[in-house]
Amino acid sequence: AKIHMHRWDVRYEFKSPDCYKKLTITINGKSPGPTILAQQGDTVIVEVTNSLDTENLAIHWHGIRQIGSPWSDGAEGVTQCPIVPGDTFNYRFVVDRPGTYMYHAHYGMQREAGLYGSIQVSLPDGEVEPFVYDYDRSIILTDWYHNSTYEQAAGLSSVNFVWVGEPHSLLIQGRGRFNCSMVTDQSVCNVTNPECSPYFLTAVPGKVYRLRIGSLTALSALSFQIEGHNMTVVEADGHYVEPFEVSNLFIYSGETYSVLVKADQDPLKNYWMTTSIVSRNSTTPPALAILNYYPNHPRKPPPTPPPVGPAWNDVAARLEQSRSVKAHHGYIHTPPPNSDRAIVMLNTQNKINGRVRWSVNNVSHDFPTTPYLISMRKNIKGVFDQKPSPDILPGYNNYNIYSVANNTNATAASSIYRLKFNSTVDVILQNANTMTKNNSETHPWHLHGHDFWVLGYGTGKFDPDEDPQKYNLVNPIMKNTAPLHPFGWTALRFVANNPGVWAFHCHIESHFYMGMGTAFEEGIEKVRKLPSKIMGCGRTRGRKLKTIVK
Ligand code: C2O
Ligand code: CU
Protein backbone atom coordinates (compact mmCIF):
# COMPACT_ATOMS: atom_id res chain seq x y z
CA ALA A 1 0.00 0.00 0.00
CA LYS A 2 1.16 3.48 -0.85
CA ILE A 3 1.22 6.71 1.12
CA HIS A 4 -0.19 9.77 -0.62
CA MET A 5 1.01 13.07 0.77
CA HIS A 6 -0.92 16.24 -0.03
CA ARG A 7 -0.03 19.78 1.08
CA TRP A 8 -2.98 22.10 1.08
CA ASP A 9 -3.03 25.82 1.64
CA VAL A 10 -6.55 27.00 2.44
CA ARG A 11 -7.38 30.66 1.90
CA TYR A 12 -10.00 33.13 0.72
CA GLU A 13 -9.74 34.31 -2.86
CA PHE A 14 -12.06 36.11 -5.22
CA LYS A 15 -13.63 33.61 -7.60
CA SER A 16 -16.46 33.80 -10.11
CA PRO A 17 -17.84 30.25 -10.32
CA ASP A 18 -21.19 31.53 -11.63
CA CYS A 19 -19.68 34.70 -13.19
CA TYR A 20 -20.43 36.68 -10.02
CA LYS A 21 -17.30 37.68 -8.10
CA LYS A 22 -17.34 36.38 -4.55
CA LEU A 23 -14.95 35.57 -1.73
CA THR A 24 -14.43 31.83 -1.97
CA ILE A 25 -12.51 29.39 0.17
CA THR A 26 -9.92 27.73 -2.03
CA ILE A 27 -7.43 24.89 -1.66
CA ASN A 28 -4.14 25.69 -3.38
CA GLY A 29 -6.04 28.36 -5.31
CA LYS A 30 -8.87 26.08 -6.45
CA SER A 31 -12.54 25.45 -5.72
CA PRO A 32 -13.47 22.59 -6.04
CA GLY A 33 -10.17 21.51 -4.54
CA PRO A 34 -7.83 18.83 -5.87
CA THR A 35 -9.21 15.30 -6.33
CA ILE A 36 -7.65 12.74 -4.01
CA LEU A 37 -6.83 9.57 -5.93
CA ALA A 38 -5.80 6.44 -4.06
CA GLN A 39 -6.06 2.68 -4.12
CA GLN A 40 -7.82 0.56 -1.53
CA GLY A 41 -5.58 0.14 1.51
CA ASP A 42 -3.48 3.23 0.83
CA THR A 43 -2.79 5.88 3.44
CA VAL A 44 -3.68 9.47 2.70
CA ILE A 45 -1.95 12.30 4.53
CA VAL A 46 -3.24 15.81 4.03
CA GLU A 47 -1.20 18.56 5.60
CA VAL A 48 -3.62 21.45 5.87
CA THR A 49 -2.42 25.00 6.49
CA ASN A 50 -5.10 27.40 7.57
CA SER A 51 -4.39 30.67 5.75
CA LEU A 52 -7.91 32.03 6.26
CA ASP A 53 -6.32 34.61 8.62
CA THR A 54 -9.39 35.27 10.77
CA GLU A 55 -11.31 32.01 10.62
CA ASN A 56 -10.96 28.54 12.12
CA LEU A 57 -11.04 25.46 9.95
CA ALA A 58 -11.67 21.69 9.96
CA ILE A 59 -12.01 19.28 7.01
CA HIS A 60 -14.15 16.13 6.96
CA TRP A 61 -13.47 13.12 4.72
CA HIS A 62 -17.03 12.25 3.89
CA GLY A 63 -17.62 8.48 3.58
CA ILE A 64 -14.22 7.47 4.97
CA ARG A 65 -14.89 5.51 8.17
CA GLN A 66 -11.64 6.44 9.96
CA ILE A 67 -11.23 3.03 11.54
CA GLY A 68 -8.46 3.44 14.10
CA SER A 69 -8.13 7.16 13.37
CA PRO A 70 -11.29 8.79 14.81
CA TRP A 71 -9.34 12.03 15.46
CA SER A 72 -8.87 12.46 11.69
CA ASP A 73 -12.62 12.66 10.96
CA GLY A 74 -12.48 16.44 10.83
CA ALA A 75 -15.79 17.09 12.59
CA GLU A 76 -15.04 20.19 14.63
CA GLY A 77 -16.62 19.98 18.09
CA VAL A 78 -16.89 16.18 17.83
CA THR A 79 -13.45 14.80 17.00
CA GLN A 80 -11.10 17.77 17.09
CA CYS A 81 -10.52 21.37 18.04
CA PRO A 82 -10.59 23.69 15.05
CA ILE A 83 -7.38 24.47 13.19
CA VAL A 84 -6.67 28.09 14.13
CA PRO A 85 -5.43 30.60 11.55
CA GLY A 86 -1.77 30.12 10.73
CA ASP A 87 -1.68 26.54 12.05
CA THR A 88 -0.93 23.38 10.11
CA PHE A 89 -2.78 20.15 10.87
CA ASN A 90 -2.09 16.66 9.51
CA TYR A 91 -5.03 14.46 8.63
CA ARG A 92 -3.93 10.87 8.23
CA PHE A 93 -6.26 8.01 7.34
CA VAL A 94 -6.48 4.73 5.45
CA VAL A 95 -8.89 4.43 2.53
CA ASP A 96 -10.06 0.91 3.23
CA ARG A 97 -12.69 0.49 0.52
CA PRO A 98 -12.94 1.33 -3.17
CA GLY A 99 -15.53 3.85 -4.27
CA THR A 100 -16.56 7.46 -4.60
CA TYR A 101 -16.22 9.78 -1.62
CA MET A 102 -15.88 13.49 -0.98
CA TYR A 103 -14.30 15.94 1.40
CA HIS A 104 -15.54 19.29 2.66
CA ALA A 105 -15.12 21.85 5.43
CA HIS A 106 -16.81 20.92 8.70
CA TYR A 107 -16.61 24.15 10.64
CA GLY A 108 -19.49 26.61 10.87
CA MET A 109 -21.09 26.96 7.44
CA GLN A 110 -17.75 26.96 5.61
CA ARG A 111 -18.58 24.10 3.29
CA GLU A 112 -20.79 26.27 1.16
CA ALA A 113 -18.05 28.90 0.84
CA GLY A 114 -16.28 26.56 -1.57
CA LEU A 115 -14.11 24.15 0.39
CA TYR A 116 -14.91 20.74 -1.11
CA GLY A 117 -13.68 18.11 -3.53
CA SER A 118 -13.68 14.44 -4.59
CA ILE A 119 -12.01 11.33 -3.28
CA GLN A 120 -11.73 8.38 -5.66
CA VAL A 121 -10.53 5.06 -4.33
CA SER A 122 -9.70 2.40 -6.89
CA LEU A 123 -9.62 -1.37 -6.48
CA PRO A 124 -6.46 -3.28 -5.70
CA ASP A 125 -4.48 -4.39 -8.77
CA GLY A 126 -6.07 -7.36 -10.51
CA GLU A 127 -9.58 -6.84 -9.06
CA VAL A 128 -12.42 -5.65 -11.25
CA GLU A 129 -15.74 -3.96 -10.74
CA PRO A 130 -19.01 -5.76 -11.57
CA PHE A 131 -19.51 -3.43 -14.55
CA VAL A 132 -17.41 -2.26 -17.47
CA TYR A 133 -16.56 1.19 -18.76
CA ASP A 134 -13.91 2.90 -20.81
CA TYR A 135 -13.37 6.15 -18.94
CA ASP A 136 -13.88 7.47 -15.44
CA ARG A 137 -14.91 11.08 -14.60
CA SER A 138 -16.15 12.74 -11.46
CA ILE A 139 -18.25 15.82 -10.81
CA ILE A 140 -19.66 17.42 -7.69
CA LEU A 141 -22.93 19.31 -7.71
CA THR A 142 -23.39 22.27 -5.37
CA ASP A 143 -25.62 25.25 -4.89
CA TRP A 144 -24.14 28.70 -4.51
CA TYR A 145 -25.01 31.84 -2.58
CA HIS A 146 -23.59 35.30 -3.17
CA ASN A 147 -23.96 36.44 0.41
CA SER A 148 -21.43 35.34 3.00
CA THR A 149 -21.81 32.41 5.36
CA TYR A 150 -21.54 34.93 8.22
CA GLU A 151 -24.52 36.82 6.96
CA GLN A 152 -26.47 33.58 6.64
CA ALA A 153 -25.46 32.30 10.07
CA ALA A 154 -26.39 35.60 11.72
CA GLY A 155 -29.80 35.56 10.06
CA LEU A 156 -30.51 31.96 11.04
CA SER A 157 -29.59 32.46 14.68
CA SER A 158 -31.24 35.80 15.31
CA VAL A 159 -34.60 36.29 17.02
CA ASN A 160 -35.71 38.10 13.89
CA PHE A 161 -35.12 34.94 11.89
CA VAL A 162 -33.81 35.51 8.37
CA TRP A 163 -33.99 32.41 6.18
CA VAL A 164 -31.10 31.84 3.73
CA GLY A 165 -33.53 31.65 0.84
CA GLU A 166 -32.99 29.89 -2.46
CA PRO A 167 -29.43 29.75 -3.82
CA HIS A 168 -28.34 32.21 -6.48
CA SER A 169 -27.02 29.44 -8.72
CA LEU A 170 -26.37 25.76 -9.05
CA LEU A 171 -22.87 24.63 -9.94
CA ILE A 172 -21.70 21.55 -11.84
CA GLN A 173 -18.11 20.85 -10.85
CA GLY A 174 -17.75 24.44 -9.65
CA ARG A 175 -19.27 26.09 -12.71
CA GLY A 176 -22.62 27.76 -13.17
CA ARG A 177 -24.09 30.88 -14.66
CA PHE A 178 -25.81 33.73 -12.86
CA ASN A 179 -27.89 36.12 -14.92
CA CYS A 180 -25.50 39.10 -14.87
CA SER A 181 -28.12 41.41 -16.33
CA MET A 182 -29.61 41.41 -12.81
CA VAL A 183 -26.44 43.08 -11.52
CA THR A 184 -25.77 46.74 -12.30
CA ASP A 185 -22.02 46.68 -11.70
CA GLN A 186 -20.64 44.64 -14.59
CA SER A 187 -17.21 44.41 -12.97
CA VAL A 188 -18.81 42.17 -10.32
CA CYS A 189 -20.58 39.90 -12.77
CA ASN A 190 -19.02 39.13 -16.13
CA VAL A 191 -20.42 36.38 -18.36
CA THR A 192 -17.23 36.22 -20.43
CA ASN A 193 -15.13 35.27 -17.40
CA PRO A 194 -13.55 31.89 -18.26
CA GLU A 195 -14.08 30.78 -14.62
CA CYS A 196 -17.80 30.42 -15.36
CA SER A 197 -17.67 28.80 -18.76
CA PRO A 198 -19.70 25.60 -18.48
CA TYR A 199 -18.16 22.32 -17.45
CA PHE A 200 -17.84 19.91 -20.36
CA LEU A 201 -17.23 16.20 -20.55
CA THR A 202 -15.71 15.07 -23.81
CA ALA A 203 -16.95 11.69 -24.96
CA VAL A 204 -15.61 9.53 -27.75
CA PRO A 205 -18.58 8.13 -29.70
CA GLY A 206 -19.32 4.50 -28.78
CA LYS A 207 -17.45 4.59 -25.47
CA VAL A 208 -18.92 4.04 -22.01
CA TYR A 209 -18.29 6.62 -19.31
CA ARG A 210 -18.42 6.04 -15.60
CA LEU A 211 -19.60 9.33 -14.19
CA ARG A 212 -19.15 9.69 -10.46
CA ILE A 213 -21.65 12.25 -9.25
CA GLY A 214 -21.62 13.67 -5.75
CA SER A 215 -23.77 16.34 -4.18
CA LEU A 216 -22.57 18.76 -1.54
CA THR A 217 -25.37 21.27 -1.80
CA ALA A 218 -25.96 23.60 1.13
CA LEU A 219 -29.73 23.27 0.79
CA SER A 220 -31.01 21.85 -2.45
CA ALA A 221 -32.16 18.38 -3.38
CA LEU A 222 -31.29 17.88 -7.04
CA SER A 223 -32.17 16.03 -10.17
CA PHE A 224 -29.41 15.44 -12.74
CA GLN A 225 -30.11 14.59 -16.38
CA ILE A 226 -28.28 14.19 -19.68
CA GLU A 227 -30.15 15.09 -22.83
CA GLY A 228 -30.87 12.01 -24.95
CA HIS A 229 -29.01 9.59 -22.66
CA ASN A 230 -30.14 7.26 -19.93
CA MET A 231 -27.90 6.53 -16.99
CA THR A 232 -27.32 3.15 -15.36
CA VAL A 233 -26.81 3.48 -11.62
CA VAL A 234 -24.02 1.13 -10.49
CA GLU A 235 -22.59 2.55 -7.26
CA ALA A 236 -23.94 4.48 -4.27
CA ASP A 237 -21.78 5.87 -1.44
CA GLY A 238 -19.01 3.36 -2.20
CA HIS A 239 -21.24 0.29 -2.57
CA TYR A 240 -22.15 -1.57 -5.75
CA VAL A 241 -25.79 -1.24 -6.75
CA GLU A 242 -27.90 -3.82 -8.57
CA PRO A 243 -27.92 -1.84 -11.84
CA PHE A 244 -31.02 0.11 -12.80
CA GLU A 245 -31.64 2.73 -15.42
CA VAL A 246 -32.85 6.29 -14.91
CA SER A 247 -33.42 9.28 -17.14
CA ASN A 248 -32.96 11.60 -14.21
CA LEU A 249 -30.93 10.92 -11.11
CA PHE A 250 -32.21 12.33 -7.82
CA ILE A 251 -29.32 13.14 -5.54
CA TYR A 252 -29.29 14.62 -2.04
CA SER A 253 -26.54 16.49 -0.28
CA GLY A 254 -23.94 14.04 1.00
CA GLU A 255 -24.72 11.26 -1.48
CA THR A 256 -22.50 9.93 -4.26
CA TYR A 257 -23.50 7.77 -7.22
CA SER A 258 -21.67 6.26 -10.15
CA VAL A 259 -23.66 6.04 -13.34
CA LEU A 260 -22.68 4.53 -16.67
CA VAL A 261 -23.39 6.59 -19.77
CA LYS A 262 -22.91 5.23 -23.28
CA ALA A 263 -22.03 7.79 -25.94
CA ASP A 264 -24.35 6.17 -28.49
CA GLN A 265 -26.29 9.16 -29.84
CA ASP A 266 -25.86 11.25 -33.00
CA PRO A 267 -22.14 12.18 -32.86
CA LEU A 268 -22.54 15.33 -34.95
CA LYS A 269 -23.73 17.44 -32.02
CA ASN A 270 -23.23 18.11 -28.32
CA TYR A 271 -25.79 17.42 -25.57
CA TRP A 272 -26.86 19.22 -22.41
CA MET A 273 -26.22 17.95 -18.95
CA THR A 274 -28.38 19.77 -16.43
CA THR A 275 -29.17 19.79 -12.77
CA SER A 276 -32.28 21.31 -11.27
CA ILE A 277 -33.83 21.70 -7.84
CA VAL A 278 -36.50 19.35 -6.55
CA SER A 279 -38.35 19.18 -3.22
CA ARG A 280 -38.52 22.99 -2.94
CA ASN A 281 -40.47 25.31 -5.21
CA SER A 282 -37.25 27.12 -6.10
CA THR A 283 -36.62 30.11 -8.34
CA THR A 284 -33.01 29.05 -8.93
CA PRO A 285 -32.46 28.20 -12.60
CA PRO A 286 -30.93 24.81 -13.55
CA ALA A 287 -27.19 24.60 -14.11
CA LEU A 288 -25.99 23.60 -17.57
CA ALA A 289 -22.96 21.60 -18.64
CA ILE A 290 -22.07 20.03 -21.97
CA LEU A 291 -21.65 16.42 -23.00
CA ASN A 292 -19.23 16.99 -25.84
CA TYR A 293 -19.07 14.37 -28.57
CA TYR A 294 -15.57 14.31 -29.97
CA PRO A 295 -14.56 15.98 -32.33
CA ASN A 296 -17.21 18.70 -31.97
CA HIS A 297 -16.01 21.86 -30.30
CA PRO A 298 -16.47 21.42 -26.52
CA ARG A 299 -17.99 24.88 -26.12
CA LYS A 300 -20.45 24.56 -28.98
CA PRO A 301 -23.88 24.79 -27.38
CA PRO A 302 -26.25 21.97 -28.29
CA PRO A 303 -28.81 23.07 -30.90
CA THR A 304 -31.69 21.80 -28.78
CA PRO A 305 -33.26 23.22 -25.60
CA PRO A 306 -31.93 21.74 -22.34
CA PRO A 307 -34.03 18.89 -20.93
CA VAL A 308 -36.52 19.91 -18.28
CA GLY A 309 -36.13 18.26 -14.88
CA PRO A 310 -38.96 16.49 -13.07
CA ALA A 311 -41.66 18.37 -11.17
CA TRP A 312 -40.28 19.73 -7.90
CA ASN A 313 -43.14 18.31 -5.84
CA ASP A 314 -43.22 14.78 -7.22
CA VAL A 315 -42.31 13.09 -3.94
CA ALA A 316 -43.52 9.68 -5.17
CA ALA A 317 -40.93 9.59 -7.98
CA ARG A 318 -38.15 10.38 -5.53
CA LEU A 319 -39.35 7.83 -3.02
CA GLU A 320 -39.48 5.22 -5.76
CA GLN A 321 -35.92 5.93 -6.85
CA SER A 322 -34.68 5.78 -3.24
CA ARG A 323 -36.31 2.36 -2.96
CA SER A 324 -34.70 1.15 -6.19
CA VAL A 325 -31.19 1.41 -4.77
CA LYS A 326 -30.35 -2.15 -3.65
CA ALA A 327 -27.09 -3.98 -3.10
CA HIS A 328 -25.58 -5.65 -6.17
CA HIS A 329 -26.38 -9.39 -6.04
CA GLY A 330 -22.70 -10.33 -5.96
CA TYR A 331 -21.84 -7.93 -3.15
CA ILE A 332 -24.50 -8.32 -0.51
CA HIS A 333 -23.52 -7.63 3.08
CA THR A 334 -26.36 -9.19 5.03
CA PRO A 335 -27.44 -7.10 8.02
CA PRO A 336 -27.88 -8.71 11.45
CA PRO A 337 -31.49 -10.00 11.50
CA ASN A 338 -32.37 -8.11 14.67
CA SER A 339 -31.32 -4.97 16.43
CA ASP A 340 -30.36 -4.52 20.07
CA ARG A 341 -31.79 -1.04 20.24
CA ALA A 342 -34.16 1.04 18.15
CA ILE A 343 -34.06 4.82 18.26
CA VAL A 344 -37.00 6.66 16.73
CA MET A 345 -35.88 10.15 15.78
CA LEU A 346 -38.74 12.56 15.27
CA ASN A 347 -37.56 15.47 13.11
CA THR A 348 -39.30 18.72 13.95
CA GLN A 349 -38.94 22.43 13.55
CA ASN A 350 -39.45 24.37 16.77
CA LYS A 351 -38.95 27.68 18.40
CA ILE A 352 -36.51 27.71 21.30
CA ASN A 353 -35.96 30.97 23.17
CA GLY A 354 -37.61 32.80 20.31
CA ARG A 355 -35.32 31.29 17.69
CA VAL A 356 -36.26 28.86 14.93
CA ARG A 357 -34.47 25.54 15.40
CA TRP A 358 -34.57 21.95 14.16
CA SER A 359 -34.86 19.19 16.71
CA VAL A 360 -34.72 15.45 17.10
CA ASN A 361 -37.05 14.18 19.82
CA ASN A 362 -37.32 17.75 21.05
CA VAL A 363 -33.57 18.13 21.46
CA SER A 364 -31.94 20.70 19.23
CA HIS A 365 -28.24 20.05 19.11
CA ASP A 366 -25.62 22.52 20.32
CA PHE A 367 -21.96 21.55 20.09
CA PRO A 368 -19.84 21.88 23.21
CA THR A 369 -16.62 23.91 22.99
CA THR A 370 -14.69 20.82 24.07
CA PRO A 371 -14.93 18.07 21.43
CA TYR A 372 -16.72 14.90 22.61
CA LEU A 373 -13.92 12.58 21.54
CA ILE A 374 -11.47 14.39 23.81
CA SER A 375 -13.71 14.96 26.81
CA MET A 376 -14.99 11.38 26.81
CA ARG A 377 -11.66 9.69 26.16
CA LYS A 378 -9.85 11.81 28.73
CA ASN A 379 -12.71 11.94 31.21
CA ILE A 380 -12.99 15.71 31.33
CA LYS A 381 -16.17 16.30 33.28
CA GLY A 382 -18.88 18.87 32.87
CA VAL A 383 -18.42 19.84 29.23
CA PHE A 384 -21.68 18.54 27.77
CA ASP A 385 -25.17 17.59 28.91
CA GLN A 386 -24.90 14.13 30.45
CA LYS A 387 -28.61 13.35 30.24
CA PRO A 388 -28.83 11.26 27.07
CA SER A 389 -31.17 12.22 24.27
CA PRO A 390 -34.35 10.11 24.37
CA ASP A 391 -34.73 6.97 22.21
CA ILE A 392 -38.28 8.03 21.48
CA LEU A 393 -40.15 11.24 22.08
CA PRO A 394 -42.31 10.97 25.20
CA GLY A 395 -45.84 11.00 23.83
CA TYR A 396 -44.68 9.94 20.35
CA ASN A 397 -47.64 7.61 19.90
CA ASN A 398 -50.04 10.51 20.02
CA TYR A 399 -47.93 12.85 17.93
CA ASN A 400 -49.64 13.98 14.76
CA ILE A 401 -46.99 14.34 12.07
CA TYR A 402 -49.41 16.20 9.81
CA SER A 403 -50.08 19.07 12.17
CA VAL A 404 -47.99 22.21 12.55
CA ALA A 405 -45.27 21.49 15.08
CA ASN A 406 -46.07 22.92 18.45
CA ASN A 407 -43.27 21.41 20.50
CA THR A 408 -42.98 24.17 23.01
CA ASN A 409 -40.95 22.01 25.37
CA ALA A 410 -38.05 21.52 22.95
CA THR A 411 -34.65 22.43 24.34
CA ALA A 412 -31.19 23.08 22.97
CA ALA A 413 -28.67 20.66 24.43
CA SER A 414 -25.31 19.03 23.76
CA SER A 415 -26.50 15.58 24.83
CA ILE A 416 -25.69 12.59 22.60
CA TYR A 417 -26.36 8.85 22.37
CA ARG A 418 -24.02 6.32 23.96
CA LEU A 419 -24.09 2.95 22.24
CA LYS A 420 -23.01 -0.42 23.53
CA PHE A 421 -19.89 -1.44 21.63
CA ASN A 422 -20.63 -3.95 18.85
CA SER A 423 -24.38 -3.65 19.34
CA THR A 424 -26.77 -3.42 16.40
CA VAL A 425 -28.67 -0.17 16.34
CA ASP A 426 -31.74 0.82 14.34
CA VAL A 427 -32.46 4.44 13.70
CA ILE A 428 -35.89 5.29 12.40
CA LEU A 429 -35.99 8.82 11.10
CA GLN A 430 -39.52 10.16 11.24
CA ASN A 431 -40.46 13.28 9.34
CA ALA A 432 -43.24 15.67 10.35
CA ASN A 433 -44.89 18.92 9.48
CA THR A 434 -42.72 22.01 9.93
CA MET A 435 -43.96 25.25 11.51
CA THR A 436 -45.55 26.03 8.15
CA LYS A 437 -48.92 24.54 7.33
CA ASN A 438 -48.91 21.53 4.94
CA ASN A 439 -45.14 21.55 4.73
CA SER A 440 -42.57 18.86 5.36
CA GLU A 441 -39.02 18.98 3.99
CA THR A 442 -36.47 16.52 2.65
CA HIS A 443 -33.57 15.87 5.04
CA PRO A 444 -30.53 13.88 3.90
CA TRP A 445 -29.08 12.29 7.05
CA HIS A 446 -25.38 11.50 7.12
CA LEU A 447 -23.56 9.25 9.56
CA HIS A 448 -19.85 9.61 10.24
CA GLY A 449 -17.62 6.59 10.92
CA HIS A 450 -20.00 3.96 9.49
CA ASP A 451 -22.10 2.77 6.66
CA PHE A 452 -25.65 1.82 7.52
CA TRP A 453 -28.06 -0.53 5.84
CA VAL A 454 -31.10 1.21 4.45
CA LEU A 455 -33.88 -1.13 5.60
CA GLY A 456 -36.77 0.84 4.19
CA TYR A 457 -38.49 4.06 3.30
CA GLY A 458 -42.12 4.66 4.13
CA THR A 459 -44.79 7.29 3.96
CA GLY A 460 -46.73 8.62 6.91
CA LYS A 461 -46.09 7.66 10.47
CA PHE A 462 -43.86 4.70 11.23
CA ASP A 463 -45.76 1.80 12.77
CA PRO A 464 -43.42 -0.03 15.20
CA ASP A 465 -45.49 -3.23 14.96
CA GLU A 466 -46.16 -3.45 11.23
CA ASP A 467 -43.39 -1.61 9.41
CA PRO A 468 -40.37 -3.61 10.66
CA GLN A 469 -42.02 -6.69 9.07
CA LYS A 470 -41.47 -5.01 5.72
CA TYR A 471 -37.78 -4.24 6.23
CA ASN A 472 -35.51 -5.35 3.42
CA LEU A 473 -33.10 -7.74 5.15
CA VAL A 474 -32.23 -9.53 1.90
CA ASN A 475 -30.33 -7.03 -0.22
CA PRO A 476 -30.40 -3.61 1.43
CA ILE A 477 -27.86 -1.12 0.15
CA MET A 478 -25.26 0.23 2.52
CA LYS A 479 -24.83 3.99 2.48
CA ASN A 480 -23.54 6.82 4.61
CA THR A 481 -26.27 9.29 3.64
CA ALA A 482 -29.97 8.63 3.09
CA PRO A 483 -32.87 10.96 2.47
CA LEU A 484 -35.82 11.37 4.78
CA HIS A 485 -38.68 12.23 2.46
CA PRO A 486 -41.48 14.70 3.29
CA PHE A 487 -44.03 13.23 5.75
CA GLY A 488 -42.20 9.89 5.55
CA TRP A 489 -39.82 7.69 7.49
CA THR A 490 -36.47 6.07 6.76
CA ALA A 491 -35.19 3.05 8.68
CA LEU A 492 -31.43 2.48 9.06
CA ARG A 493 -29.40 -0.22 10.80
CA PHE A 494 -25.73 -0.17 11.72
CA VAL A 495 -23.31 -1.98 13.97
CA ALA A 496 -21.63 0.20 16.57
CA ASN A 497 -18.19 -1.29 16.03
CA ASN A 498 -15.98 1.72 15.33
CA PRO A 499 -14.49 3.10 18.57
CA GLY A 500 -14.96 6.86 18.71
CA VAL A 501 -17.59 9.57 18.67
CA TRP A 502 -19.42 10.11 15.42
CA ALA A 503 -21.62 12.90 14.17
CA PHE A 504 -25.03 12.07 12.72
CA HIS A 505 -26.80 14.99 11.12
CA CYS A 506 -28.89 16.44 8.36
CA HIS A 507 -26.51 17.38 5.56
CA ILE A 508 -28.34 20.61 4.80
CA GLU A 509 -25.90 23.23 6.04
CA SER A 510 -28.48 25.56 7.55
CA HIS A 511 -30.46 22.73 9.17
CA PHE A 512 -27.30 21.38 10.80
CA TYR A 513 -26.45 24.89 11.93
CA MET A 514 -29.95 25.15 13.45
CA GLY A 515 -29.43 22.04 15.54
CA MET A 516 -30.45 19.16 13.28
CA GLY A 517 -27.95 16.59 14.42
CA THR A 518 -26.54 14.54 17.23
CA ALA A 519 -23.61 12.19 17.85
CA PHE A 520 -23.05 8.56 18.81
CA GLU A 521 -20.36 7.34 21.17
CA GLU A 522 -19.21 3.72 21.06
CA GLY A 523 -16.18 1.94 22.50
CA ILE A 524 -14.54 5.16 23.68
CA GLU A 525 -12.30 3.18 26.02
CA LYS A 526 -10.91 1.34 23.00
CA VAL A 527 -9.69 4.54 21.33
CA ARG A 528 -5.91 4.72 21.34
CA LYS A 529 -4.02 7.64 22.88
CA LEU A 530 -5.28 10.84 21.30
CA PRO A 531 -2.78 12.91 19.36
CA SER A 532 -2.18 16.28 21.05
CA LYS A 533 -2.62 18.06 17.70
CA ILE A 534 -6.42 17.75 18.03
CA MET A 535 -6.45 19.69 21.32
CA GLY A 536 -6.14 23.31 22.33
CA CYS A 537 -9.75 24.47 22.67
CA GLY A 538 -12.23 24.60 25.53
CA ARG A 539 -11.34 22.47 28.53
CA THR A 540 -8.60 20.61 26.64
CA ARG A 541 -6.49 23.74 26.95
CA GLY A 542 -5.97 23.56 30.70
CA ARG A 543 -5.04 19.89 30.44
CA LYS A 544 -2.40 20.45 27.84
CA LEU A 545 -0.89 23.15 30.04
CA LYS A 546 -0.87 20.83 33.02
CA THR A 547 1.15 18.21 31.16
CA ILE A 548 3.61 20.83 30.03
CA VAL A 549 4.01 22.18 33.59
CA LYS A 550 4.67 18.66 34.87
CU1 C2O B 1 -20.48 15.56 4.76
CU2 C2O B 1 -20.80 15.76 8.84
O3 C2O B 1 -20.69 15.79 6.79
CU1 CU C 1 -32.62 18.95 7.09
305-323 residue pLDDT tens: 999 999 999 999 999 999 9
Whether the pLDDT of residue 549 is over 70: the answer is: no
Residue nearest to atom 1 of ligand 1 (CA): 62
Residue 105 CA to ligand 2 centre (angstroms): 18
Task: For ligand 2, an ion, list residues with CB under 5 A.
Answer: 443, 506, 508, 511
Q: Which atom of ligand 1 is nearest to the CA of 517?
A: 2
Q: How far apart are CA 391 and CA 501, in angstroms?
A: 18
Whether the pLDDT of residue 145 is over 80: the answer is: yes
pLDDT in tens, 189-216: 999 999 999 999 999 999 999 999 999 9
Residues 115, 27 contacting (CB under 8 angstroms) = yes
Say what percent of the chain tops pLDDT 70: 98
Q: Selecting from 3.40.50.150, 2.60.40.420, 2.40.50.140, 3.30.230.10, what CATH number does the domain 341-534 have? A: 2.60.40.420
* pLDDT bracket for residue 542 (50, 70, 90): low
Determine whether the shortest distance from the Cβ of 62 to ligand 1 is under 6 A. yes
Whether the pLDDT of residue 185 is over 80: the answer is: yes
* pLDDT bracket for residue 547 (50, 70, 90): very low
Q: What is the mean pLDDT of the chain?
A: 96
Determine whether the shortest distance from the Cβ of 511 to ligand 1 is under 6 A. no
Task: Residue 109: name the closest of 228, 238, 219 by CA.
Answer: 219
Determine whether the shortest distance from the Cβ of 104 to ligand 1 is under 6 A. yes
Element (H, E) at 257: strand 256-262
Q: Using alpha carbons, list the distances in angstroms from residue 281 to 155, 213, 295, 392, 542.
A: 21, 23, 39, 32, 50
Q: Nearest bound ligand to CA 107?
A: 1
CA 191 to centroid of chain Cα atoms: 30
Whether the pLDDT of residue 137 is over 60: the answer is: yes
CATH 2.60.40.420 placement within the chain: 3-324, 341-534
The identity of residue 331, as a single letter, is: Y
Determine whether the shortest distance from the Cβ of 485 to ligand 1 is under 6 A. no
Residue 234 CA to ligand 1 centre (angstroms): 23
Determine whether the shortest distance from the Cβ of 254 to ligand 1 is under 6 A. yes
Instruction: Give the pTM.
Output: 0.97
Q: What is the mean pLDDT of residues 11-36?
A: 98
Q: Which atom of ligand 1 is nearest to the CA of 102?
A: 1
Q: Which atom of ligand 1 is nearest to the CA of 512?
A: 2
Whether the pLDDT of residue 122 is over 50: the answer is: yes
Determine whether the shortest distance from the Cβ of 75 to ligand 1 is under 6 A. yes
What does the pLDDT read at residue 548? 43
pLDDT in tens, 59-101: 999 999 999 999 999 999 999 999 999 999 999 999 999 999 9
pLDDT in tens, 517-538: 999 999 999 999 999 999 999 9
Fold of 3-324: Immunoglobulin-like (2.60.40)
Q: How far apart are CA 241 and CA 260, in angstroms?
A: 12
Q: How far apart are CA 87 and CA 73, in angstroms?
A: 18
Determine whether the shortest distance from the Cβ of 106 to ligand 1 is under 6 A. yes
What does the pLDDT read at residue 545? 46
Whether the pLDDT of residue 228 is over 90: the answer is: yes
Whether the pLDDT of residue 341 is over 80: the answer is: yes
- In angstroms and rounded to an integer, the radius of gyration of the C-alpha atoms of the chain is 23
Whether the pLDDT of residue 324 is over 50: the answer is: yes
Q: What is the mean pLDDT of residues 259-279?
A: 98
Determine whether the shortest distance from the Cβ of 503 to ligand 1 is under 6 A. yes
Span of 283-292, 339-348, 404-413 with lowest mean pLDDT: 404-413
As for the ipTM of the complex, it is: 0.97
